[in-house]
Structure 1
Amino acid sequence: MEEPGLSRSAASTTVGGDFPELLGFCARVEALIAELLLLSDRAPPQFADRRFDSVLFDFRYLDSPGDFESRVEGNIELEALEDQLRESCGSYMQRFFSLLDGAATYHEELCNYLNDLQEGLYVHCTLDHVLENNCACQLLVESMALFGCMILLMEHKISGLLRERLLVAHLRYERCFSYPNLERMCELCRRHVPSPATSASSGSSVFSPDIISIQKPEDLLRRFPFPEPVVDAVITCLRNGDVYNNIRFYPDPQHRTTALSLQGGHLYVLLFYSDDILHRGLAMREIVDRFFKDNWMVPIFLHFSVDLLVSWDAYKEAKLSLVSCLSPTSIRDISLQHHTKVTHFLADLDIHIHATNKEYVLDNSLSLLSVIRECNFTLRWLLLHHMTSDKKARDLVISVGSSQQVNEGTLLQLLLKTAKLEFEVKKLHVELLKTRENIWYEKRRDALECIKDLSQNYLGTWAASCKFKNKTLKDWLEHLSSELISLNYTSIGSCGRTIHRVLSTLKDIEMLHQIKESMQIKQGFSKIHKNLHDMIKTLNLNHEAINILSVITDAKYAWVYLTLFETLLKKNISQDPSETKFLHTVFLKFQSWLSAPLQRIKQRESPDLHCISTYYSSKFAAKIFAVLDVIPEILLKTSTAVDYVNIEQPTHLVNRINQEALQELMQMDQQLCRARHAAKLCIISEGLGNMSSNFGHLVNLNLGGWLKKVIKKELAIQLERKLKCLSSYGDMESNLNSLSNFMVSQMQRMEFLEDILHIDGSSIWQETFTTVLEQCAKKEFVDLMACTQESANAVKQLNNVYSPSTFFGNLLQHIVQLTNPSHSMFIEAMIGWFDAGGHELLGMRFFNLLELCVGQVGLACLDSLVHILIKHSMENTVKSLHSLVDAKRYEDLTKMDDILGPPMSIPLMGWSSYKQMVKVLHSAWGQLVEKLATIGQLQLVRTLISFKLRSSCKIKANTITSAVEVLVSSLYMHKGAFERGDEDETVRFFHHIIQEQQNFCGLFSPLQVIYISEDPPMFLTRLLSLFSISQLPRYVLDVHLGNLTSPLKGSTADFSAVGLVQSCGSLILSV
């Protein structure tokens, strides 16, 4: 890390100019670690799938590759698995191979550089020069320690077996066994001893994925050693110095281990490169006393930590040195010390948070920094040591916390309040720095006005009789006033001295007996004192406080707690939405988790900056969105509680209001309830706004797009639940009325949220509504296709045994059952189906209600499902007609055509020729009557749906409907070109889109739609005319209904449905 007191640009220039090689090494190793973490998160599941074990080999393959290859060659199954593995994991294996190559090359080049540095081959610098230069020393330490961290992380995140398999698989598929760095890459991948360590004192923990626990790490690290003299020199520098200059930010000696924690983590790694330090008692005692005397959890990179009580278990002298400082009694005492402070800190933080403003920060800057430092010191210790892997130590820490009533919720509160105070103090301090010159002149003006007021009204010639006149005092005050007027903000040194001299003079004046006795004059002098002190404080404002805050508030070590606290944060937000207003402060506390691994890459201006920052930013954003995931549910739940419009009991406006009824009409309770819920929504909106505005320089959250996405998701869940509920029970019309009310309330809710959250609520509702209905229709389409495959008569199944699982399935079944030609009659004048008692079963009232519920989208989806049923019925009917025309009937129909004569002439034999043929086919119409009546029934249903679609679109979208009509007419003029297939792909696609819009607007006639494309049965039209002739004697004209009805109660079908079979001939396109 750069020196906190040094700006980033200055540090970059200094380091990059004097030691570009070291800066380049640090940038490279940071990039390698980022790539390692990314690859470990995306390990291909195929390498853990046992099905692929037979084609995945470890390093034993390298000893005898022929034996292993012979198992695969000629085996079709294994070769297919290899092809699948190569196709799905090839890019990942290539990236892993590049990572290994980069790590091996990095170590080789760094060792060469260190050897040259040690031998003095560089003119501009030597090893001693590097260690004496603070920035260069930091770079040297990081270039070595971070490489060690990378090796430990690789062992921790990617198992040895997986590494070997990945490398061998890539070598086999790419045939690169002679790669230059292969030997060193194999050393990186070779399996180490089983990890994590199996110490008796260690136990499993929820933090295990973020705690590195490896047996004999020195064996692992010494596969890639560094020059021993350089290692010893760097360790000596770390042991004795303050490499990162952080001690100045922690003046309290009790905070010394925290101040040195960063170089303590580097020292932990580099000790494994040394031969004997870990086994030297005196040296280890010195190291423990300086770095680890009160803590044993050590972060080594970001939030990845090691537990010294476990990690040093195999090193006798190191463990003895550690235990001498951290005995069970010491652990209990340290833990008690920190846990007892929590309650006090929470109360103290509340006081400071409520009092924080510019004046408060200006007056109490040092005390605020002290409070923040103490809170972070305690918070760091508690959060780190609750993660310990050592079971005894963890139980001890938790038991002490329980005795002091400090649990996860308490720690979260401490984190939240500390982050809130830090944010406010930092923000106000930045504002003070921007406006300090104006503040200084304002304070000077106030001081001059007070002096003038004292001089004229209390001590001068205009003084009241109750006051006293003193010319000498008046002259003194005028002299002080002239001194203050002469001050200039740019001359900070002289200003400070002059103000101190003025303060000293004022103290002498206040000692006069007459002034002591006058409260008004004393009050005036106190105001002057206050303004002058504020001027001094303003002069003392600088960026040092910002630097201190950036160091003492660092919380990247606790990154894992964002996952642990996720449930608690969601619960807090659900109970109190105002928590969202300051939620951004918590995540801003972890901003160093983003900046720390990119620091050297930025300084180096590496081209890898964009992709690496994208990786860390995506991880950071994922944590934020994981917590915010509860927001949509709260928004919709809160907005549901607002009774926008009571549709079932509307309030009617009256011309005159009685005084007694005024209170009831005002609905104060309901208005108060709405206002409270609206306030909650506004608070959430403010919290999201804070989140969006404060992360612009860190992460591109795009909260607007995210909010739209998650609201659509939550809205879709609620809508699907409602549709599923309605499809499972109850009367259909009652369900549709309920659904209509639900839809109206949902739409009003989204319009309400639109104003508060500044999102396009209407668009979200329409998109979600359309998507849910289309998905429901698709699911029903799949069910219908399965039904048509199982049965030759899908409509009959709908009437009897079919149990729909979707809203549209239930709706379709309801319509088919009510319009059954055997039990209902379609009356054209009434546009509906009626039963024998004259009661309407289904009509335009039903379709009007349905359109109100599901809109044009729902009607279009229903129309497409009816289309499927008609197509299926047509296909079965055509098959029956094909079987009907056997050889004998074909001969009879041919003779009949000869007897009837040309189609355009009057039949020669008249009715007798038809009568004979009707008699011949009379026995064959049995099953066809039901099938053809079903087709007619569904055609009538589809005609009503088309009519409703067309009329609704004419009213609600007249312009679009007119445009579609014009386009359809234009396309109809080019119908011949389309039928010849002369158009290109673009025109065909355009024609398809226009046809979809035509169906959506109802601009089609179901009686003219072509459902199937195949050769029609011979004499199809003749057969259909004979069928109609054979059925006509069963019906008589009812002049009152204007329809043909059956005088017999046992009639099979409604004539309106049967009569439509004449149109079937036009529904089949001959191929």
Structure 2
Amino acid sequence: EGVYISHTIESILVNNDGKQLLCEIFYLYGVMLLLLDYKIGGKVREHLIVSYIRYKGAGEQHTVEITSMCRATGYVLDKPLPESYPVQYFNRVPVDKEMIGMLIGRIRSDDIYQMSYNYPAPEHRSTALSIQAQSLYILLFFRPEILREERPVMREIVDKHFADNWVINYYMGFTVDLVVAWGSFKAASAAIQGTIAVENVAYYQKRMRASVKTLNKEIAGYLREGVLTEQYVLDNIHSLMLPKIREANVVLRWFMLHMTRGPALRRVAEPFKKSYEVVETDINADEILTLLLQTAQLEFSLKAMFVQFLKEKPAKWEKAKQLGSTKMQKLSTYFSGDDVLSDNVRVAQLESWFSDISERITSLEYNDSTSASRKIQKLMKALENVQEFHQIDSNLQVVQFIQDTRQLLRQMIRYINIEYKVLITIGTVGDLSYAWELMSSFGCFVPEIQNKIKRNPHLAIQMRSAFVKLASMLELPCSRIDQAAQNGD
């Protein structure tokens, strides 16, 4: 009993889903403890427990364990953190330290959520690893000796996950300043000081600030009426639009997390006050808000277009394939000499060649997008080369047929770009759950939004897209529940 013959911890950690789920077990346990302390103060919890015991009696099952776990920790909102908080709090219910160490090691070495597909650019690495970084932040409190003593390990962790950010979202918009949270831990505090150094903050702030100004202009250009046509979107979705959406969301995340710190945290982190002031240099909330609204509108428009494209993709692909194959078959018939309009033109090699091209077009399937794209490019090159033959370049009708077929093949390449993965990428990089608590509880950007709508009522339309973007926070906690339900079916 309690022994699994077919699985070990090592085998589970090799499996992608296995290591994710193991991390999330301890991560969510730690999050529950932190939010319990944050939302229901220690004195309130103790009064609730005393009231419950007086009403029900001390004989209830697990009363001692619950009382021990829920007693006050010394944490008080807007006050300096207790020494080494929340290590003693996390130790109230023992966990397997060795397993925690293995999980931390796996996070240090791997991209456990495989987010590099959604964030291929190296400058977006910390955002790509942000999901596992929030797990790592929680797990380290179960192994405080790493935070206190293991300087090389903490240096490696900070360089990989926190090189350009020190205010992180650890769950659904609840944020933490690592300078404050790690202030009592010598190795961790020393490691994060490189990130918070004025010159480092100034470098990233300058880069992000320049991106805000550039992106606002470029995204506004995409949103002009008549720009987002089917042809333009399919030609540029991977080369232009997705990279801009990624960059915009990375910049939004950086500024929204680092510009919206509360005054209490500013007092605690007084030695680093200059670094915090650098973040807001030459940037204002209106520019950030404009980028947020425009990015949300672009994401909303592209999602709507791709949902429609996916519905129409099979029919459009088949139509283009059939037309291209038919045109090549007509040219084959023309060069066979049997066509009444061929003027006794008979070129056996061209007849056979165009017939073969027709068959190859008919055999194309979009299910294997890489293979189909490669084959189409070869066909287009072959059709371009065949136009140089003197039997062809002197006949305008034949040249027109070949050009029409090349255009159809080019359209088929566009249809190959219609993939559900595009919707997944937009949804993943467009996640705004990190800002939920900032907006809902602290009203960040709410006055600015109200003022912008008063000045320009048409912006109310863009707010719909912003609310859809914010709704991503509802999907995040339900993702594992949905997966379990699907597996159950």
TM-score w.r.t. length of structure 2: 0.85
Q: Is the 8 A contact 1:225 1:273 kept in 2?
A: no
Could you tell me how far apart the structure 1 residues matched to 2:70 and 2:326 are?
77
Residue 19 of structure 2 corresponds to which residue in structure 1?
Answer: 137
Given the alignment of the two structures, is residue 366 of structure 1 paired with residue 241 of structure 2, yes or no? Answer: no
Deviation of 1:437 (Å):
1.1
Residue 59 of structure 2 corresponds to which residue in structure 1?
Answer: 178
Could you tell me how far apart the structure 2 residues matched to 1:554 and 1:216 are?
30
Decide which of 226, 239, 243 is 2:95's aligned counterpart. Answer: 226
For residues 47-99 of structure 1, the C-alpha deviation after alignment (integer angstroms, 9 at most, x for no partner) is xxxxxxxxxxxxxxxxxxxxxxxxxxxxxxxxxxxxxxxxxxxxxxxxxxxxx
Deviation of 1:570 (Å):
2.9
Q: Is the 8 A contact 1:214 1:311 kept in 2?
A: no
Amino acid in structure 2 at the alignment position of 1:541: I
Residue 164 of structure 2 corresponds to which residue in structure 1?
Answer: 294
Q: Secondary structure at the match of 1:184?
A: helix
For residues 343-378 of structure 1, the C-alpha deviation after alignment (integer angstroms, 9 at most, x for no partner) is 110111122233213222222221221121111111
Q: Is the 8 A contact 1:426 1:546 kept in 2?
A: yes
Distance change >3 Å, CA 495–CA 372, structure 1 → 2? closer
Q: How does 1:476-487 map to 2 (within 5 A)?
A: 478-479=354-355, 482-483=358-359, 486-487=362-363
Amino acid in structure 2 at the alignment position of 1:300: Y
Residue 667 of structure 1 corresponds to which residue in structure 2?
Answer: none
Q: Is the 8 A contact 1:255 1:377 kept in 2?
A: yes
Aligned residues: 469
Residue 192 of structure 1 corresponds to which residue in structure 2?
Answer: 73
Distance change >3 Å, CA 275–CA 574, structure 1 → 2? closer
Q: Is the 8 A contact 1:141 1:234 kept in 2?
A: yes
Q: Is the 8 A contact 2:198 2:278 kept in 1?
A: no
Residue 472 of structure 2 corresponds to which residue in structure 1?
Answer: 592
Q: How does 1:263-412 map to 2 (within 5 A)?
A: 263-279=132-148, 280-354=150-224, 355-367=227-239, 368-388=241-261, 389-390=265-266, 396=275, 399=278, 401-403=280-282, 406-412=283-289
Could you tell me how far apart the structure 2 residues matched to 1:271 and 1:374 are?
30
Could you tell me how far apart the structure 2 residues matched to 1:313 and 1:486 are?
66
For residues 397-429 of structure 1, the C-alpha deviation after alignment (integer angstroms, 9 at most, x for no partner) is 5555442xx311111110111111111112222
Q: How does 1:572-651 map to 2 (within 5 A)?
A: 572-604=452-484
Q: Secondary structure at the match of 1:305?
A: strand
Amino acid in structure 2 at the alignment position of 1:366: H
Q: Is the 8 A contact 2:325 2:358 kept in 1?
A: no
Residue 312 of structure 2 corresponds to which residue in structure 1?
Answer: 435
Q: Is the 8 A contact 2:86 2:141 kept in 1?
A: yes
Could you tell me how far apart the structure 2 residues matched to 1:167 and 1:145 are?
25
Could you tell me how far apart the structure 2 residues matched to 1:190 and 1:254 are?
44
Decide which of 196, 209, 216 is 2:85's aligned counterpart. Answer: 216
Could you tell me how far apart the structure 1 residues matched to 2:332 and 2:83 are?
78
Deviation of 1:283 (Å):
0.7
TM-score w.r.t. length of structure 1: 0.40
Given the alignment of the two structures, is residue 504 of structure 1 paired with residue 354 of structure 2, yes or no? Answer: no
Residue 299 of structure 2 corresponds to which residue in structure 1?
Answer: 422
Residue 426 of structure 2 corresponds to which residue in structure 1?
Answer: 549
Residue 45 of structure 1 corresponds to which residue in structure 2?
Answer: none
Q: Secondary structure at the match of 1:246?
A: coil
Decide which of 108, 123, 143 is 1:254's aligned counterpart. Answer: 123
Deviation of 1:337 (Å):
0.5
Residue 169 of structure 1 corresponds to which residue in structure 2?
Answer: 51
Q: Is the 8 A contact 1:346 1:417 kept in 2?
A: yes
Could you tell me how far apart the structure 2 residues matched to 1:217 and 1:285 are?
21
Decide which of 561, 570, 581 is 2:439's aligned counterpart. Answer: 561
Amino acid in structure 1 at the alignment position of 2:116: I
Could you tell me how far apart the structure 2 residues matched to 1:509 and 1:413 are?
52
Q: Is the 8 A contact 2:166 2:195 kept in 1?
A: no
Q: Is the 8 A contact 2:196 2:275 kept in 1?
A: no
Distance change >3 Å, CA 219–CA 491, structure 1 → 2? closer
Deviation of 1:230 (Å):
1.4
Q: Is the 8 A contact 1:456 1:462 kept in 2?
A: no
For residues 532-559 of structure 1, the C-alpha deviation after alignment (integer angstroms, 9 at most, x for no partner) is 0221342453322222222211110011
For residues 275-320 of structure 1, the C-alpha deviation after alignment (integer angstroms, 9 at most, x for no partner) is 4111211110011111111111121111011111111112122111
Q: Is the 8 A contact 2:194 2:200 kept in 1?
A: no
Which deviates the most, 230-239 or 386-395?
386-395
For residues 115-173 of structure 1, the C-alpha deviation after alignment (integer angstroms, 9 at most, x for no partner) is x5xxxx2223222222222212212111111111111111112111111112212222x
Could you tell me how far apart the structure 2 residues matched to 1:483 and 1:394 are?
70
Deviation of 1:483 (Å):
2.6
Q: Is the 8 A contact 1:213 1:311 kept in 2?
A: no
Could you tell me how far apart the structure 1 residues matched to 2:106 and 2:254 are?
26
Could you tell me how far apart the structure 1 residues matched to 2:44 and 2:84 are?
18
Distance change >3 Å, CA 322–CA 491, structure 1 → 2? closer
Q: Secondary structure at the match of 2:142?
A: coil
For residues 863-902 of structure 1, the C-alpha deviation after alignment (integer angstroms, 9 at most, x for no partner) is xxxxxxxxxxxxxxxxxxxxxxxxxxxxxxxxxxxxxxxx
Q: Secondary structure at the match of 2:459?
A: helix
Distance change >3 Å, CA 521–CA 382, structure 1 → 2? farther
Could you tell me how far apart the structure 2 residues matched to 1:131 and 1:382 are?
35
Decide which of 529, 534, 540 is 2:411's aligned counterpart. Answer: 534
Q: Is the 8 A contact 1:480 1:502 kept in 2?
A: no
Amino acid in structure 1 at the alignment position of 2:207: Q
Q: How does 1:63-212 map to 2 (within 5 A)?
A: 116=2, 121-172=3-54, 174-196=55-77
Deviation of 1:215 (Å):
5.8
Could you tell me how far apart the structure 2 residues matched to 1:323 and 1:553 are?
30
For residues 900-958 of structure 1, the C-alpha deviation after alignment (integer angstroms, 9 at most, x for no partner) is xxxxxxxxxxxxxxxxxxxxxxxxxxxxxxxxxxxxxxxxxxxxxxxxxxxxxxxxxxx
Q: Is the 8 A contact 1:386 1:394 kept in 2?
A: no
For residues 979-1002 of structure 1, the C-alpha deviation after alignment (integer angstroms, 9 at most, x for no partner) is xxxxxxxxxxxxxxxxxxxxxxxx
Amino acid in structure 2 at the alignment position of 1:601: I
Question: Unaligned 5+ residue runs, structure 1?
Answer: 1-112, 200-211, 607-1071
Deviation of 1:595 (Å):
1.5
Deviation of 1:188 (Å):
2.7
Could you tell me how far apart the structure 1 residues matched to 2:293 and 2:273 are?
24
Deviation of 1:191 (Å):
1.7
Distance change >3 Å, CA 532–CA 396, structure 1 → 2? same
Deviation of 1:485 (Å):
6.4
Q: Secondary structure at the match of 2:216?
A: helix
Amino acid in structure 1 at the alignment position of 2:232: Y
Amino acid in structure 2 at the alignment position of 1:265: Q
Could you tell me how far apart the structure 1 residues matched to 2:381 and 2:25 are?
55
Could you tell me how far apart the structure 1 residues matched to 2:399 and 2:279 are?
53
Q: Is the 8 A contact 1:238 1:267 kept in 2?
A: yes
Mark the structure with the bigger radius of gyration.
1
Higher relative contact order (CA 8 A, sep 6+): 2
Deviation of 1:261 (Å):
0.7
Q: Secondary structure at the match of 1:594?
A: helix
Q: Is the 8 A contact 1:332 1:397 kept in 2?
A: no
Q: Is the 8 A contact 1:195 1:214 kept in 2?
A: no
